[in-house]
Chain A
Amino acid sequence: MDSVEHAAQTPDHPQPYAELGLKSDEYQRIRDILGRRPTSSELAMYSVMWSEHCSYKSSKVHLRQFGEKAPESEALLVGIGENAGVVDVGDGWAVTFKVESHNHPSYIEPYQGAATGVGGIVRDILSMGARPLAVMDQLRFGDPSQTDTARVVHGVVAGVGGYGNCLGLPNIGGETVFDPCYQTNPLVNALCVGAMRHEDIHVSSARGAGNLVVLYGALTGGDGIGGVSVLASESFDETGPSKRPAVQVGDPFTEKLLIECTLELLHAGLIEGIQDLGGAGLSCATSEMASNGDGGMHVWLDRVPLRDATLTPEEILMSESQERMCAVVTPDNHDEFMAICAKWGVTATVIGEVTDGDRLTIEWQGRTVVDVPPRTVAHDGPVYHRPFEEPAWLKPRQAVPTQPEHTDPRETLLALLGSANNASKAWVTDQYDRYVRGNTALAQPEDAGVLRIDEESGRGVAIATDCNARFVELDPYAGTQLALAEAYRNVAATGAVPLAVTNCLNFGSPEDPAVMWQFSQAVTGLADACLELKIPVTGGNVSFYNQTGETAIHPTPVVGVLGVFDDVARRTPMAWGPDGELIYLLGQTRPEFGGSAVATLQGILTGMPPTVDLQAERVLAEILVAGSRDGMLTAAHDVADGGVGLALAEMAMRAGIGARTWVPDGVDAFTFLFSESAARAVVVVPRSEELRFTEMCGARRFACERIGVVDSGLGDVLQIGEIELDIAAMRERAGEVLPNHFA
């Protein structure tokens, strides 16, 4: 056994730090911290905690901007750095939400990768003291016609559904995007939102010498060992060994029990500090809780209940077995804690205690195998100032203006509906339960998911996530701002007031200066835009190494916005109706096609993305929220991918009612229908509210133009200027795309 004593006596013993993903200078730093070589258990802990995935060593210097440029916000209760940020949504309610990536495991083993991605983010929310309320997932796959795409799609969708459905959390939205750039690097991001009363907010810390450290939930097995280091923090390499053993295996039933058990423990006041076990398992939980606490911690590692008795201490420390939580409990509460765990059939074991020292010590069979300052493991990892440089190909590409051929508008709209990215996603979302718990006021394909939080008052939240990675590829700064703007607009379109931001930043290898430049631009763009829109970033996640060989994905910073309703009953849906209501386009349409859906149809990815105008986004959001609050809108839909043409088609298909619309003067039909200028929305106004609504837009100097009227007299037909589209035919067209590829 490699005890501390043994390590001190054998300073020259060779250690496999490189195989564990550590660089030689990092290994030397560990030796310097400890004043000796690390034991094999210590090496295991440092290797996972100093991995890119856990330590944010390449991203930290950039992510600081989210704090430095944070707008003043009274809503922020818990900020960046905890398991998830927490915002005040009024009436004593607090909401926590976060997105995390599970990209690499989902390519290796799609079902389990996606399933445990959901499980992990749900435990993050739970560990803040909140009841998890809903999930959304942001999925990006390769070319749908490639055979391997079907393998990944089937596994991921079944995994998200299999886990989330069995957990009893409604899936209220998300994204499904296809692009060849994700062929061997699919992205599986999962978002969870939860709510709690203010007084129930908990944080991860081990305080009070003599308090007990309790591990509860599933038994620890050999799955997911090194998941954060050798899997999530390296690029794929075609010749490398199989990384399948680094993927975890999920058990949603155990997680459901863990949720109910944990909430009962929290409400009974039996928990002093709590932390979930996710990436880096016990290494992370023990070191973070000790580091955040007021003393040290001692752990008897051989008390950890095991699924596999042959596991070594290093493996136990690195295991990422799912469905486990760690709590700090006073000795007085021990019996009651154990009784509640027994009621739910959850295994709970005291594995350690808080000490009054300042070290984290771990014992195995009577000998000390870890003796470290916990902060050096959890928080003082390496920080890299990686070189970054604008890629040489970018400026020449931006200089080529995007001028798609002005194809026949009707055929183009039908072609968009028949493309995987703009088709109906029902084949995916119908595999998810959107009803459970009975608080879903809007779910996909609406602009945002809307959840009721308080049944008495109707208080609730809206959440949307977005990212058009083609925009980010063309201009990472503006593209990321456009992702934020779209999510912000989507939340406002439902009538919610945007309040807070989360993100999941998916990029290639940080060791490539071009990728690092994209990353720094994206973070700066997002931080600047949040400051201007006055909504803080509450947390986020970075996923690097989404590349195979030299080929990175398009930079994909998924941005999530949370908005608040005083009463979800006033939500604005996207379906129009009834007859006679007026259709208005808000915002200015310019010929902007860079990164657009029509340009993609024509195989073009050049030029610049649409202009960012955050002031216009703010005014538009104010109009949409006021329209909902004062009953001036019956429907609203943001204009983004596919332009006004696709927005009108989606509203018509959702409503099943025809409409007569026209192309305004001064713009050609193709530009009107397919430009993707930002800060626009289509809204539907009752005739009785028309004057009040247009005066409100006028007072705010915001462009507002009547473009149509809901009219079922045409039959179920959407008329746009000279073209006519049969709604049933559009539904069939949009509905058959994913089943044709995957069913």
Chain B
Amino acid sequence: MRWCTRPAARSLSYREGVRIGVVTFPGTLDDIDAARAVKYAGGEAVPLWHADHDLQNVDAVVLPGGFSYGDYLRCGAIARFAPVMQEITDAAEAGMPVLGICNGFQILCEAHLLPGALVRNQSLHFVCRDQGLRVENAATSWTRAFSPRDEIVIPVKNGEGAYTADEQTLDRLEGEGRVVFRYIGGNPNGSRRDIAGITNARGNVVGLMPHPEHAIDALTGPGTDGLNLFTSLLERAGV
């Protein structure tokens, strides 16, 4: 198997001064990592606070991983009611790119910006490992820097990461090409149809369980495959 480690698409020109908001809820953990990834990709990371009704004119938003509000209830169930989420939901529906990673994906599902839900891993254990993924849709706001069927490795780490939805929804997602990432080389959490990430009909909202922000530098991660999600945003192709 050949892993794709394409560097950030060099041939494309970047939009100048793209500002990407990174939300911090109480209990958010990977905000510092997401901000670093935005910076590595050449963008400007703008911290957004859960309690503010203010997106500070950002061009896109990342909902990072963690355990918002402790996730003692269903993961993401409280965060979706945070003040900042009202603004994000409105902006997403108007087409602003939103990326939810892990807990962020759970929040997007709870907020009904994406269909389905994330439930307890099949193993019942938290799992952290370097995970193979196949890029199934390279046309979303967050995956343009990939080529279709690229195979990448980025870390997955979750306790409640098994994607689930009813058969009809799963069929619709598949049929409409809205499965964005699929697990390869083993399904870490029992997700239906090996689904690791999905998008909305418009392709501006993407949620995935694995953590691209932990794969931006070979020093601190399994490689740099995750960087393309963030550089995707910076392409001229328009938002």
A165, A166, A436, A568: most-surrounded residue (chain B CB, <10 A) = A436
Q: Is the CB of B221 within 8 A of A435?
A: yes
Question: A455's closest neighbor in chain B, by CB?
Answer: B36
Residues of chain B within 8 A of A436, CB atoms compared: 29-30, 33, 65, 157, 214
Residues of chain B within 8 A of A182, CB atoms compared: none
Mask of B25-39 contacts with A, CB within 8 angstroms, 1/0: 011011011001000
Q: Is the CB of B70 within 8 A of A345?
A: no
Q: Which chain B residues in 153-168 approach chain A with CB under 8 Å?
A: 155, 157, 159
Question: A438's closest neighbor in chain B, by CB?
Answer: B33
Question: A739's closest neighbor in chain B, by CB?
Answer: B123
CB A407 to nearest CB in B, in angstroms, measures: 35
Q: Is the CB of B33 within 8 A of A431?
A: no
Segment of A67-75, A252-260, A297-305 engaged in the interface with chain B: A252-260
Mask of B111-133 contacts with A, CB within 8 angstroms, 1/0: 00000000000010111110000
Residue from A256, A257, A431, A437 in contact with B126 in the complex, judged by beta carbons closer than 8 Å: A431
Residues of chain B within 8 A of A431, CB atoms compared: 125-128
User: With the chains together, A158 CA to B126 CA distance in Å?
Assistant: 8
Q: How many residues of B contact A (CB 8 A)?
A: 31
With contacts A256-B27, A569-B219 taken as known, whether A438 is within 8 angstroms of B214 at the C-beta atoms is yes
Q: Is the CB of A438 within 8 A of B29?
A: no
Q: Is the CB of A165 within 8 A of B126?
A: yes
CB B186 to nearest CB in A, in angstroms, measures: 12
Mask of B3-47 contacts with A, CB within 8 angstroms, 1/0: 000000000000000000000001101101100100000000000
Residues of chain B within 8 A of A254, CB atoms compared: 70
Question: B154's closest neighbor in chain A, by CB?
Answer: A435
Q: Is the CB of B128 within 8 A of A252?
A: no
User: With the chains together, A338 CA to B94 CA distance in Å?
Assistant: 39
Q: How many residues of A contact B (CB 8 A)?
A: 33
A380 close to chain B: CB less than 8 A = no
A432 close to chain B: CB less than 8 A = yes
A286 close to chain B: CB less than 8 A = no
Residues of chain B within 8 A of A455, CB atoms compared: 36
Residues of chain A within 8 A of B128, CB atoms compared: 429-435
Residues of chain B within 8 A of A439, CB atoms compared: 220
Residues of chain A within 8 A of B66, CB atoms compared: 168
Residues of chain B within 8 A of A452, CB atoms compared: 219-220
User: With the chains together, A429 CA to B159 CA distance in Å?
Assistant: 14
A247 close to chain B: CB less than 8 A = no
Task: Given contacts A431-B128, A452-B219, list 20 more A-B pairs with CB under 8 A.
Answer: A158-B126, A162-B126, A165-B159, A166-B71, A168-B30, A251-B70, A253-B70, A253-B72, A256-B26, A256-B27, A344-B26, A345-B26, A430-B127, A435-B211, A435-B220, A436-B65, A438-B33, A439-B220, A568-B219, A743-B123
Q: Which 10 A-B pairs have the closest CB atoms?
A: A253-B70, A168-B29, A435-B214, A438-B33, A166-B67, A431-B126, A433-B157, A435-B155, A253-B27, A161-B126
B interface, CB within 8 angstroms of A: 26-27, 29-30, 32-33, 36, 65-67, 69-72, 123, 125-129, 155, 157, 159, 211, 213-214, 216-217, 219-221
Can you report 26 residue pairs joining A to B where beta carbons are below 8 Å apart?
A162-B126, A165-B157, A165-B159, A166-B27, A252-B67, A253-B26, A253-B27, A253-B67, A256-B27, A257-B26, A257-B27, A344-B26, A430-B127, A430-B129, A432-B126, A433-B157, A434-B128, A435-B33, A435-B155, A435-B157, A435-B214, A436-B30, A436-B33, A438-B32, A438-B217, A438-B221
